[in-house]
Amino acid sequence: MRGPSKAAARRIRGDNTMLEALGLSMIASKVYQGMLDHPTYGAAKLADLCGISPAQVHGCLDELSALMLVRASSEHPGQMRAVSPDVGLADMLARQEADLAARQARLAESRVAVTNLIAERADSRATHGERLLGMDAIQGRIEQLAHGMSQECLGVHPGASHRPEDLAAARAADEEPLARGVVMKTLYQDSTRNDPHTTAHAHWLLSRGSEVRTAPVLPQRLVIFDRTHALVPIDPADTRKGALHITEAGIVNALLDLFDQAWATAVPLGAVRPDAPADGLTGTERQLLRLLAGGLTDEAVGQRLGTSSRTVGRHMASIMERLGASSRFEAGLKAAQRGWL
């Protein structure tokens, strides 16, 4: 079976990087690109072009059809035609954005429920939770739990940057369980992609088989060990004051649900985010609009997004310019009319 030429292969790989970022499998991306370049090709020729079997081509057509990127050809009965990227990919992004918005809304509801639950139980008996006061107590408990865990460690670490000494302590605690094969999933805020210390630590985790994702907005800081022990800050505004060590199954399960929802809406470190979604907003801008519409100040929004109030102002000015609005109130009305809120 003859494969594509070297020049064609290089071009296909470049175009497919974007398609795979949108959720297509690698071979489905190749088939879609091949159909765009050669509209008259049937399954056999597409298989030859992409270096795969005809059966694999048919499987890719099923995948593309489910995403509404191909339709039945009127000109060539029995064949499929590729939907133009201007239409097909824009619709696909719109569906993904709508799904993401719905999941973010569920995440926000869960965040409130979990926060209230923890507040209600924070003063319960020691069998339900233990208060750890100060960073030394927190770090000592993390080392103890990390040494004893055998399956996985889930962490949420909001904020635009993290202290180098805290990252060094985390690396020292993580090294041994990672060597034993413990799975680690870590969530950082999008803004940490601009922090060299946090980015270096994240890539160190990736190099040891861990998974790292980022999102514009995260729940409060938390760490869960083997799905049975959880640490959450006593005061979310100052996480260095102390933490609550929770072992009660009901609360730990609620925190696991919160983590799973946040993880599902986050993007793997290194993945390419679309710079211009179908609705003209990035994920960070969408969250910023929702938070401002909820009545938060620029400073409060900046704290939630892990950035400065000045950066919030710059984002808002850019959104107003795109909307042609002369005030934030007018921008809010136009954003609502476009379905951005």
**Which of 226, 243, 268 is at the close of a domain?**
268
What is the band of 4 on the pLDDT scale with cuts at 50, 70, 90?
very low
pLDDT digits 0-9 by tens, 38-54: 888 888 888 998 899 98
Percent of the chain with pLDDT over 70: 80
Q: Please answer whether residues 146 and 153 qualify as being in contact, where contact means their C-beta atoms are separated by less than 8 angstroms.
A: yes
Q: Say whether both 96 and 78 belong to one domain.
A: no
- Report residue 305 as tokens: 């997004």
Q: Is the pLDDT of residue 13 over 60?
A: no
Q: Could you tell me the residue range of the domain that residue 14 belongs to?
A: 6-83
Confidence of residue 12 (pLDDT cuts 50, 70, 90): very low
Does the pTM surpass 0.85? The reply is: no
Whether residues 224 and 248 fall in one domain: yes
Q: Has residue 278 been placed in a domain? A: no
What percent of the chain has a predicted confidence (pLDDT) above 90? 1
Q: How far is CA 118 from CA 218, 230, 247, 299, in A?
A: 17, 11, 12, 25
- Indicate the pLDDT class of residue 28, thresholds 50, 70 and 90: confident
Top-ranked range on mean pLDDT: pick from 137-141, 176-180, 227-231, 260-264: 227-231
Same domain for 223 and 124:
yes
Average pLDDT on 251-263 reads 86
> 31-45, 107-121, 246-260, 296-310 — which is least confidently predicted?
107-121
Is the Cα torsion angle 298, 302, 308, 312 positive or negative in sign? Answer: negative
Q: 272: which 2 tokens? A: 């390419």
Q: How far is CA 46 from the centre of its chain?
A: 34
Please tell me the total count of domains within the chain: 3
The answer to whether position 274 is within a domain reads: no
- 122 and 150 both lie in a single domain: yes
Please indicate, yes or no, if residue 277 is contained in any of the structural domains.
no
Q: What is the pLDDT of residues 132-168, one digit of tens each?
A: 888 888 888 888 888 888 888 898 888 777 888 888 8
Q: Please state, in angstroms and rounded to a whole number, the distance separating the CA atoms of residues 316 and 301.
A: 11
pLDDT band for position 202 (50/70/90)?
confident
Cβ(108)–Cβ(296) under 8 Å? no
Query: Are residue 260 and residue 289 in the same domain, yes or no?
Result: no
Does residue 275 belong to any structural domain of this protein?
no
In the prediction, which pLDDT does 106 show?
Answer: 77
Lowest mean pLDDT among 1-15, 141-155, 253-267: 1-15
